[in-house]
Structure 1
Amino acid sequence: MTPFTSILWPMAALALLTFVVLLIMPFLRVGDVAAGRAKAADFRYGESEDVPWRTRLFNRNYMNLLELPVLFYAACLIAFVTDDRDALPLGLAWAFVGFRVLHTLVHVSLNPILIRMALFAASAMTLLALWVAIFWRLAQLG
């Protein structure tokens, strides 16, 4: 039987978003240093308080894309390895990616905290539902 690979596409989409944010950061950092808004030393141990807010926001968003999504990637890999062909985990995986895209767009633009918090919570609850759906199916299979 051919493994069900559809669950890999939401993983690829989230990885792409992560790389996009990662690739923007050096341009912001170099731009800040070149414009005199920050010094190279401000990045020695991450970022100092002297780094402009926009650059710090992208850095924080990048860290967000490496924290909670670890559980997303693990869940998707479990679904892939167990050949879970149920539509629910796939739909939840895409919903999680959608919430993370919206969270990133809100976070690095106007950054309204309540909207950002709601999107983060929605992504976390979607991820929890994904884990429950995957392990519910595994429990049924024995």
Structure 2
Amino acid sequence: MTGFELFWPLVAHAFLVFCLYGLLVLRRASVVKSGLVEREAFRENRDEPTESRVVNRAIANQFELPVLFYAVSILLYIVDADNVVAVALAWLFVATRYAHAFVHVTANRLMLRRPLFMAGFVALFALWIWLAGWMAFS
């Protein structure tokens, strides 16, 4: 490993967040243009239409569980535990975040979102277990 493999999933996740913000801007502009809501409604996020509210919530989701992902990734790098196992788990976590966000802003079916969330949760938990094990046995 060259040393930065663990950071590429972080970059990929940040790209997802930027894409979601872009989608939010497009959806908000669309609902304002269609007359569903006045632009001022977004100042305090009152009465936001579903079309943009789901994207806004998908963005919020990227700042909840992923905070632990960023923390463990940096810690894994610091303690030199950023190996193929950690990188694979990190990519798995990010892949589930992309899939979860896609479902959230399209069909928004909980039956699809929940297993994607749980898969990412398990991958992230495994990263923390990997870190703890690495530190305990190094």
Q: Structure 2 length as normaliser, TM-score?
A: 0.93
Which aligned pairs between 1:28-67 and structure 2 lie closer than 5 A? 28-45=27-44, 47-48=45-46, 50-67=47-64
Count of residue pairs the alignment pairs up: 138
Aligned counterpart, 2:105: 108
Return structure 1 stretches of 4+ with deviation > 2 angstroms. none
Q: CA deviation at 1:3?
A: 7.0
Query: For the residues of structure 2 that align with 1:114 and 1:17, how far apart are their CA atoms?
Result: 22
How much has 1:41 moved relative to structure 2? 2.5
Distance 1:89 1:135 in 2: 12
Aligned match of 2:19? 20
| Paired letter, 1:56 | R
Give the C-alpha shift of residue 119 in structure 1: 0.8
Which structure 1 segments of 5+ residues have no match? none
Are the equivalent residues in 2 in contact too, given 1:3–1:83 (CA < 8 A)? no
Amino acid of the residue matched to residue 26 of structure 1?
V
For the residue of structure 2 that corresponds to 1:66, the secondary structure is coil
Aligned counterparts, 1:108-127, within 5 A: 108-127=105-124
Aligned pair partner of 1:74 in 71, 76, 83:
71
Amino acid corresponding to residue 20 of structure 2 in structure 1: V
Q: For each residue in 1:96-124, what CA deviation from the matched residue of structure 2 results, as whole angstroms up to 9, or x when unmatched?
A: 00111110111111111111011111111
C-alpha separation in 2, matches of 1:119 and 1:91: 16
TM-score normalised by the chain length of structure 1: 0.90
Cα RMSD for the two superposed structures: 1.5
